[in-house]
Amino acid sequence: MKEPKGFIGLTRFGPVAAEIEEHLRCELARRFGLPIRRLGEELAPVGWNPERQQYLGEAMLAELHHAAPPDAVRVLALTEVDLYAPEMDFIFGQAEVGGRTAIVSLHRLHPEASGEAPNRILFLRRALVECVHELGHTFGLVHCPFASCVMHFSEGLEETDRKGPGFCHEHARQLRAALAQV
């Protein structure tokens, strides 16, 4: 298998704590076998819907697609704003399946956002799970029927907490194949 070339760019829509970015940068590099480079200035959130008091994920993803540097294999954006998709109350993230860009909202991943006690370890685990999931989509991976696979769809935090940041056997194989093409 050939060694993957290139890097995954990491950026943000609005401010995100540097220690969160650094934790995810290290974990994602280990899991995808590609260097994760922090990209320049933060992007301004777009797609505000005043009726919903949320941002449209598709609008943020389109903005990210236009801002993505051409030399990045993939680009992941983090944000603390709340995202939604049409006909959904909220989304944890969104990606171009088989494309280059993905976004993850940290907003609802904080335990205190759902009335739980603050728990930094739980929050960082949730953030990693959602980042791996969305980046998996960019490598062509679709949702998985196995609840423990990171590619299983999460309707809420219960599903995110049940699955880990690891891939089932089939999705791990598909990811290896996709990375071999990079």
Q: Cβ neighbours of residue 121 under 8 Å, at least 6 residues apart? A: none
Q: Cβ neighbours of residue 147 under 8 Å, at least 6 residues apart? A: 159, 162, 163
Q: Contact, 9 vs 41, CB < 8 A?
A: no
* 42 part of the active site: no
Residues 80, 17: Cα–Cα separation, whole Å:
9
- The three-point CA angle 76-82-83 to 5° equals 65
Among residues 63, 96, 130, 134, the one annotated as catalytic is 134
Residues 69, 162: Cα–Cα separation, whole Å:
34
Task: Retrieve residue 78's tokens.
Answer: 């983090």
Q: Contact, 27 vs 165, CB < 8 A?
A: yes
Residues 46, 36: Cα–Cα separation, whole Å:
24
Q: Contact, 130 vs 159, CB < 8 A?
A: no
Catalytic residue IDs:
134
